[in-house]
Structure 1
């Protein structure tokens, strides 16, 4: 019976009809699923196309323009004390941080040899004095003999030869006195030179100040034949310091004498110190191709918190503006995307119909192009472009003028496209 039924269905084509029906039902199901996916894609694309603007408020206020530079704290007057003599240090009388006065003895060198040389010069000076005294006595005798010979010659009692001999003896006596006086002067000069050399064996402070460094100890041999060795470093007054900063060549044109500054050091990073520019040097400093100029700032250090060599970062005030309109610098850099039309063939590259739902056409290309003389303001949720005139800037905010920009306007600084 089943065989007969199968032959009848085959003759009527019932099996092929069932097979085609199943195929169509499968395609219809696939189409429904793809349609749902395409509908979801289009809805999600609308969400992705939404734009969120980030804004900041325009403000009316004061602006201080500063130039930042780094440098080191140094004493106003620092002296390095050396020795002109070679020898052995006999004693050192000061140490680090000691307060000294001008003329105070810092150290003494061994002077045994110098004392002996001084004694020789004193003896030479005494011998020269004796020779001078002898020459002067001989001059007195020669003068007396000459007077007698002259008187006798005037009376015609003695010969002319005796007068000539007496006159020559007087001349020699005068010459001997002059020579002896010269020897005395030479001996005096040599004695004074030796005294000066001996005085250099005593190292004294030339200024009032504080000992910052000491590089010598008792018993150490000092060799000054090639270069004078540094024995002590003394700062004149730590209550008056100076900050030497390196200013970049791009900023040096804005720096002037008497400009105010605030600086900090690592030791007191929460304590700003005031300063004032006292000098801007013309000589350049070049390091790895970077050219800088040295600016000197006067610093009051009455409480002695600052120490020589501390690294400092200074903010120098170069301009001050009051009651001006200010906008964040990010607003001047912002520009909305500009849509660039694509060719029709590109628009339809995704195809149409069901394939178009699966692969929608790609959006138009967009770029951001703006002008540094315009701002974008969000008004009623719509970005509006406003032309302005830019002024000075402190790196975070910029002075603007012109246009219809007012205090409280919301300028656009950035945007977020989609979710």
Structure 2
């Protein structure tokens, strides 16, 4: 029988073995980390090679073709009568009767209402009596003047014959002058009395309120028995509109658009009451005075409107499209072609804005935007020729917001302009 004999180890040997075991552990951990990094880098590089080798670009295009283009300016406002008159009373008093109501058709001179005239009639009679009295005074003054003149003439003859004295003649002359002055004063009193009489007649006539124009009563703000106090701000009793078969549209034109709007331009508008019907109109006036509301500056535009069917009513809110420019058979391109520009990207970029695994480190690409260009400005568009985009410089004209007129440039009908592109990985 054999016994197994274990080898003997010294304390120095055990210590060396422990040191070697501790050194081996960190080397193993670093090896695993390095292996992981190599794997990730290899995966990323492989993805890059795969995406770069399979990228395809497709373009969205639109055909350049002739067409009609209309540039409009939109403005809002309200329909109003061409003539509208507020009728008030110049005479104070009590309303005795009202002869019209809302929507009453009236002609110039028709009686709308009457005031109580008892006091005015009495005043008129007093003025007539004053005139009669003044005229009687004139008659007496003329008689006195004639008597004084006759006495003066007689004494003048007697003084020449030395029958009467010079003193008697002087007295007669003074009497005649006084009679003449009294006659002139009486005549002036007649004129004053007659003026007062005319004023009284005028006051009496103003007690009858009449229509100043032909038209329709839009509002009646008085009833029988009401007291009217004439003053510097007399209350409005009636509002009368002129012929409603011819009206006007008053719109507020934005200061950015007013330079394009001119007298004589055609327009169409709609109202809420008839949303499916467009009414024709024409610009007749653009006022120079600015109107500012909440820091927004506008200018009042007046458009003439035919209202033969009487569908339109005073105060209706309207939205007008004013035709400021109209082009026939112009060469048109969509505005999207003016906004397109090929992005400066790597071949591996995808439609999602990134490429492979690197997309997680890249910020999303922003779509470029630009403000509308003024007429006559030069722009660059991209035309697809033989499957490749070609940059073409053009000069643009009017735009309606969707299409723009080409004024000049190396571009013709039938060319296809690029409006967008899509990048995909095959």
TM-score normalised over the length of structure 2: 0.78
Distance 1:68 1:105 in 2: 43
Q: Does 1:130 align with 2:139?
A: no
Aligned to 1:235: 241
Partner Cα distance (1:322, 1:258) in 2: 19
Question: 1:415, CA displacement in angstroms?
Answer: 3.9
In structure 2, the CA distance between the partners of 1:108 and 1:336, relative to structure 1 (3 Å rule), is same
Question: What does the per-residue CA deviation read over 1:250-298, in whole Å, with 9 as the maximum and x for residues that have no partner?
Answer: 1111111111222222222222222221111111111111111111112
CA distance in 2, matches of 1:314, 1:190: 56
1:189-268 equivalent positions in 2, closer than 5 A = 189-225=195-231, 227-268=233-274
CA distance in 2, matches of 1:370, 1:278: 38
- Aligned mate of 1:285, from 261, 274, 291: 291
* CA shift for structure 1 position 184: 1.0
Instruction: Extract unaligned runs of 5+ from structure 2.
Output: 1-39, 349-354, 371-377
Instruction: Indicate the residue corresponding to 1:153 in structure 2.
Output: 159
Pairing 1:312-327 to 2, within 5 Å after superposition:
312-327=318-333
CA contact (8 A) 2:52 2:347 kept: no
Match of 1:64 among 66, 70, 90: 70
Q: 1:370 to 1:81 in 2, by over 3 A?
A: closer
**Which of 385, 388, 393 in structure 1 is aligned with 2:394?**
388
Distance 1:285 1:323 in 2: 38
Deviation at 1:84, TM superposition (A): 1.8
* Structure 1 residue 74 displacement after superposition: 1.3
Deviations 1:136-160 (A, max 9, x none): 2212222222222222223222222
Q: Identify the residue that residue 10 of structure 1 maps to in structure 2.
A: none
Once the two structures are superposed, residues 377-410 of structure 1 have per-residue CA deviations (whole angstroms, 9 ceiling, x without a partner) of: 3455544433322211111110124444332333
Query: Does the Cα contact within 8 Å between 2:55 and 2:347 map onto a contact in 1?
Result: no
Name the counterpart of 1:295.
301
Q: Alignment RMSD, CA only?
A: 3.2
Indicate conservation of the 8 Å contact 1:121/1:190, yes or no.
Answer: yes
Whole-angstrom CA distance in 2 between matches of 1:367 and 1:81 = 64
Alignment coverage as a number of residue pairs? 369
> 1:339–1:116: structure 2 CA closer, same or farther, 3 Å change rule?
same
**Which residue in 1 is equivalent to 2:96?**
90
| Structure 1 segments of 4+ aligned residues over 6 angstroms from their partners | 41-48
Deviation at 1:167, TM superposition (A): 1.7
2-structure distance, mates of 1:405, 1:142: 112
What SS does the corresponding residue of 1:306 show, helix, strand or coil? coil
Distance 1:44 1:108 in 2: 99
1:213 deviation in Å? 1.3
Indicate the residue corresponding to 2:342 in structure 1. Answer: 336
